[in-house]
Amino acid sequence: MWKELQKSPSFFLLFKKECRYHIIITDYIKIWEIYYSEDTFLKCLKECNLGLEINTLELTENGTQMLLNPAECKSLNISHNESLLIVSMTRFYGYPLHLRIELNEGSHELFFQEVTQQLLKTVKDLKCSETKLRKLLTKKDEEIEEYKSLGGKIRYTALPPYDDETHMQTHTEYEKNFGEIEISNTILDRIVNVPRQSTNEIMSNSEKNIKQEPLSQEDISSNGTTRGSNDIKQEYIKNEITPIIPTRTKRKKMLNI
């Protein structure tokens, strides 16, 4: 279920916990996502809360609750950095727990699958519900009038008879956007291929930004030796003397006069 992350400007969060943690955020214009394994999510929490000594299971559970109930967070900050959406949140559990995640901008297919398609399903469901209720109200009024015509008495009702025409003149958005068109199950049941993130994108950003450790003196020496031997070999090949084969010269014969 989508949860409101921020009112103004509006952002909504969807958290899925299956074989991996899938965090999706949208403003109904764009969509962003990030995947975490249990280990990378735990590592992210630890890096965001350096010095906090807490049971690993409790840390993961509290971090998950922050995503399931973002309204309970005491502070929230959302910013952009090119195609990244950066979200920082804090919630108190007797101690402040921080979480900072960087989400990548998602594809059009992801937006269709998680936002557009779900909204169309909701619209169709509400339209079907409204149609049934309109018919039911009309039928109930007809039954009441029939009851009265047979001599039945209704002491008091504060509700006036249902006026279907007035109702439809008040609520016109569906007619403006869809008219007589019924939302087809073809689009509601359509399955699209959502581009999956590569292994590098699935890793938490803290992992992606880890600096390369400096080489040890032994590595430098071995690399230097290897490069040196390569240079010597190349120099030897370049400077290798090609053997010169002497050409024979014909001797002139002396004439005896």
Q: Quick one: pLDDT at residue 165?
A: 93
Q: Of 121-125, 182-186, 188-192, 248-252, which gets the smallest average pLDDT?
A: 248-252
Q: Where would I find the H helices in 98-116?
A: 108-111
Q: CA–CA separation, 113 vs 188, rounded Å?
A: 10
For the chain, domain boundaries: 3-107, 109-188
Q: CA–CA separation, 108 vs 93, rounded Å?
A: 38
Describe the crossing of helices 56-68 and 38-48 by its angle, rounded to 10 degrees.
Answer: 90
The DSSP secondary-structure symbol of 152 reads -
Give the confidence band of 197 by pLDDT, cuts at 50, 70, 90.
low
Amino acid making up residue 235: E
Q: Quick one: pLDDT at residue 18?
A: 85
Q: Where would I find the H helices in 30-111?
A: 38-48, 56-68, 108-111
Q: CA–CA separation, 103 vs 82, rounded Å?
A: 11
The stretch 229-234 carries a mean pLDDT of: 48
**How far is residue 191 CA from its own chain's centroid?**
18
Average pLDDT, whole number, for the chain? 82
pLDDT at 243 over 60: no
Give the confidence band of 203 by pLDDT, cuts at 50, 70, 90.
low
Amino acid making up residue 24: I
Q: Where would I find the H helices in the chain?
A: 38-48, 56-68, 108-111, 117-149, 164-170, 173-177, 185-188, 199-202, 205-208, 217-239
pLDDT at 209 over 90: no
The stretch 53-62 carries a mean pLDDT of: 94
**The two structure tokens encoding residue 117:** 């398609």
Q: Quick one: pLDDT at residue 235?
A: 46
pLDDT in tens, 138-173: 999 898 888 888 888 877 777 888 999 999 999 999
Phi first, then psi: what are they for 94, rounded to 5°? 90, -15
- Domain 3-107 in CATH 1.10.10.10? The answer is no
**The two structure tokens encoding residue 238:** 């370049």
Pairing of strands 75-81, 21-26: unpaired
pLDDT at 218 over 80: no
